[in-house]
Amino acid sequence: MSSDATRRPEGSGSPGDAFDLPGDAAGIEGLAAAGRVPAGAPEPAAAAVSADTSPAFGTGQVETVSIGRLALESGASLPVTVAYRHDGPGPDAPQVLVVHALTGSADAAGDWWEPVIGPGRALDTDRVGVLCANLLGGRYGTTGPTSADPATGGPYGTAFPQPTARDQAALMWALADRLGIGRFALVAGGSLGGMVAQEVALARPSAVGHVTVLGAPAAMGAMAIGWNHIQLELIDALGERGLAIARQLAMTTYRSEADFDGRFGRRVEADGRFSVSSYLDYQGQKILGRFDPETYRVLVRVMDSHDVGRGRGGVRAAFRALEAADTGLTGIGIEGDILFGPEQVRALVRDVAGAGVDAVYREISSSKGHDAFLIEWEQLTAFLEEDLADGLARSRRRAAATA
């Protein structure tokens, strides 16, 4: 997703054949190899849990907290610090988890989803707590490739162990546990965030009332894999210059043909370049000021790992866990989305409904393409209000049944 749309983040995505192998271990080891984790790399020293036993709530700013050692699907483990923001009431009130996209941060309420989070907004922080955390391997406060490796004292760099979408879900629950949050009425995310949101719900179905998946499939498809492959090849060949070009390529998948035609057409700048070329050059340079090649690689490969059916007997079988827990799901497609088109989200909803889950498809009407989930605030407000109400109702029914 682009960040030129009023301070927004982004996404892109994919899984390879390695993830279809029987048993999770072989597939995850293949991902680690692709992520260039050195064989026999020394295990980082264990990290003590932060002495702060009462992490802050409702501060309106990003906090950090140690969650100790996190074990990954690959078999690696590492000490992790998580950057998070929590707005609204604490654990005694209903809670919402929001998951960011590829180059996003924990600051959903103060940045990329600010119009839908806050008092009186769709995610009303007078009534519910809203939590967002920077993903593992991220660039904005959570442990990642630019963090210090306890084994060497220098940045992890290419030695950073490659996480999967399920590892990201494990991180979200480890943070929730650390904060004393036992359940979420709603878990929502777009693009990469929508992939992780599915895994968060599947990790603890009975602790999630409703899942909202915006512009994301149940498993990555071949076209998105291909786009990711080209981006990583550019980074391999050209380093930071490759990252800038990779970002330009990604930007063409975050918007629609109609949006580019309307914004740029065949206009030419004073220097003789097409306006669209100037725009893409600007976006490529901007990513270099806030991201680095290895962080980008790690998070792109997280998207490559996404397949909720891996090791669970397929997509439909995986979602039966939500049916058993009475967890609802909304899949929100986006008109003109090139990256993860409406049909991919409809297919997700069909599989979820086929598993017996209360599932509904909604669609954002927009000329903006994939980025619409970071732009179309009125439509997003309506969808999120409906989904939160459903999640709260399901959570109340669940609580009454176990009382």
Tokens read off for 389: 């109400």
**φ, ψ at 307 (rounded to 5°):** -165, 100
- Beta strand ranges found along 197-342 (DSSP E): 208-214, 328-334
Cα–Cα distance measured from residue 178 to residue 173, given in angstroms and rounded to the nearest whole number: 8
Give the Cα separation of 324 and 51 in Å (integer). 38
- Cα angle, residue 330 at apex, residues 185 and 23 outer, rounded to 5°: 90
Q: Which of the following is catalytic: 111, 259, 304, 337?
A: 337
* Chain-centre distance for alpha carbon 395: 24
Residue 370 among the catalytic residues: yes
Exposed, middle or buried, 229 (CB in 10 Å: 0-12/13-18/19+)?
middle
- Is 337 known to be catalytic? yes
End-to-end, the C-alpha distance of the chain in Å comes to: 43
Residue 292: active-site member: no
Written as six digits, the tokens of 254 are 């975050």
Q: Is the dihedral of CA 152, 153, 156, 157 positive or negative?
A: negative
Distance CA 196, CA 200 (A): 6
Residues 34 and 126 sit within 8 Å (Cβ to Cβ): no
User: Nearest-CA neighbor of 142 among 202, 99, 201?
Assistant: 99
DSSP H or E stretch at residue 63: strand 63-71
Q: Which residues contact 206 (CB under 8 A, 6 or more apart)?
A: 325, 327, 398
Helix (H, G, I), strand (E, B) or coil at 347: helix
- The CB density around residue 232, as the number of other CB atoms within 10 Å, is 21
Which of 14, 74, 105, 191 is an active site residue?
191
Locate 152 and state its tokens.
């060497």
* β partners of residue 133: 84, 99
- Are 96 and 390 in contact, with CB atoms under 8 Å apart? no
Q: Which residue has the tokens 């997700």?
A: 348
List 147, 210, 370, 371, catalytic entry:
370
Q: Which helix (H) or strand (E) holds 87?
A: strand 77-87
Active-site amino acid positions: 191, 337, 370
